[in-house]
Amino acid sequence: MAIEVAVKAAIGAPNVIGDCPFSQRVLLTLEEKKVPYKLHLINLSDKPIWFLEVSPEGKVPVVKFDDKWVPDSDVIVGILEEKYPEPSLVTPPEFSSVGSKINGAFVKMLKSKDPNDGSELALLEELKALDEHLKAHGPYVAGEKVTAVDLSLAPKLYNLDIALGHFKKWIFPVNLNSLSKYKELLFARESFMKTKAAPEHVISGWEPKVNAAAVPVISDSEPKVNAATEPVVSDSEPKANSVAEHVVSDCEPKAIEVAVKAAVGALDVIGDCPFAQRVLLTLEEKKVPYKWHLIDLSDKPCWFLEVSPEGKVPVAKIDDRWVPDSDVIVGILEEKYPEPFLATPPEFSSVGSKINGAFVKFLKSKDPSDGSEQALLEELKALNEHLKAHGPYVAGEKVTAVDLSLAPKLYHLDVALGHFKKWIFPENLTSLSKYKELLFARESFVKTKAAPEHVISGWEAKVNDA
């Protein structure tokens, strides 16, 4: 049976593969291991509901393993190596970080408006370091055979060549002979030829992010609305034109660091990302000390792109390693800090899981008779019936992880639909209304929620056609 893989479709050409280097990394791994797979091309400006159900954060790539959809290219590649050990693509630990700063340096130069800011020199230094490494250890990073680090670098170097060549008229240095040969080897591999985006699609993918004046503030962390008219911005790669420094709250020493979305138009307060709030809720409920970094997702700082190359929030620093994806982060927190126990019993773990997709569909709907409101009501009624039988929380008397996932989404639903649709929550859903009251009154929720005006401003650019 073929593995299912959801990747970015090209902008303006939804039937061909798009320019996401993280998606290509996964496809390269599948190709090199000769694992059969089925491709789902996702229009990231108009994400289908089925995709939001399997990837609630709306991110690519995601891969279906054993009936479970798994996000994040790092995690996916690790699972593929474990499940399909031949040929081994494991990079020796001493070489695993080779070239890791190139992507951040590339993005900084691409977004730079000042030719004297040193960004080109910084990129050249990183490229020279990789060239020297290849001269000593090549032709590939770890020697004679391709490994995972090469499959990660290849799409980024390809994006670098095309984007800098097009937008900066930049020519790759001819004196970096070992690196030039390395690129030739990578780009000529059958796996690369089969999975690369066409140059014009790489350019179209970067264009709205390079032309900063034309790009409104759009979050990477929640589904987009009005996809047909809004600028197309990928969830899967960093945005250009980012110079802001990060904002850090005062917290205890050795606190876990968490990068979350800053509010649109108010960069010193927490923004409207429900997935980031889910992580903060978990930390608060477990009384784990943390400090947050507020990230302007329209203007991402370079330090953030270095620790989160895909430019996504939330990411959390746990044991000196930055970890992406709220599902993964919450799982690690449960393992490291088992008290209080927040794991949801398996039979209740998917309760309410379709509400967010139905909410997004209704919010972006322009046709009051398309059934999207009724579909949302059906999902809300199902949750209400469950709570009537099992409440007050999803799994009974105590709050669990599924409640901390649902709480921010229900809050967004209330605020966004109330503002943009003048929609009133049904009075007859009494168990669900009580559930929301309980969740929204918890100290953890009050401390971590975005103000209603910031939820509205976060959605506004995606709801209004202009």
**Cα(175)–Cα(128) distance, integer angstroms:** 9
pLDDT tens-place string over residues 76-118 = 999 999 999 999 999 998 998 899 999 989 988 998 888 899 9
**Taking 70 as the threshold, does the pLDDT of residue 120 lie above it?**
yes
Q: Are residues 15 and 113 in the same domain?
A: yes
Would 240 be classed as within a structural domain? no
Give residue 308's domain range: 247-336
Catalytic status, residue 20: yes
**Which of these is catalytic: 20, 251, 273, 302?**
20
**Taking 50 as the threshold, does the pLDDT of residue 210 lie above it?**
yes
Would 79 be classed as within a structural domain? yes
Q: Are residues 294 and 387 in the same domain?
A: no
Q: Average pLDDT of 7-19?
A: 92
- CATH assignment at residue 372: 1.20.1050.10
Would 463 be classed as within a structural domain? no
**Cα(439)–Cα(425) distance, integer angstroms:** 16
**Residue with the larger pLDDT of the pair 218 and 390:** 390
The pLDDT confidence band at residue 208, using thresholds 50, 70 and 90, is: confident
How many domains, the chain? Answer: 3
pLDDT for position 225 = 35
Other Cβ atoms closer than 10 A to 154 = 25
Q: Are residues 267 and 171 in the same domain?
A: no
Q: Average pLDDT of 26-41?
A: 96
Q: Are residues 258 and 353 in the same domain?
A: no
Q: Are residues 13 and 115 in the same domain?
A: yes
What percentage of the chain exceeds 90 in pLDDT? Answer: 68
**Cα(60)–Cα(27) distance, integer angstroms:** 12
Q: Are residues 185 and 270 in the same domain?
A: no
Q: Are residues 181 and 79 in the same domain?
A: yes
pTM given for the model: 0.56
Would 317 be classed as within a structural domain? yes
Sorted by sequence, the CB contacts under 8 Å of residue 184 that are 6+ apart come out as none
Q: Average pLDDT of 189-205?
A: 94
pLDDT for position 405 = 96
Q: Are residues 71 and 185 in the same domain?
A: yes
Q: Are residues 271 and 375 in the same domain?
A: no
Q: Are residues 197 and 76 in the same domain?
A: yes
**Taking 60 as the threshold, does the pLDDT of residue 231 lie above it?**
no
Would 454 be classed as within a structural domain? no
**Cα(97)–Cα(76) distance, integer angstroms:** 18
Q: Are residues 353 and 324 in the same domain?
A: no
**Cα(70)–Cα(322) distance, integer angstroms:** 18
Q: Which of these three, 312, 336, 360, is where a domain ends? A: 336
**Taking 90 as the threshold, does the pLDDT of residue 141 lie above it?**
yes
Task: Indicate the pairing of strand 62-65 with strand 256-263.
Answer: unpaired
- CATH assignment at residue 295: 3.40.30.10
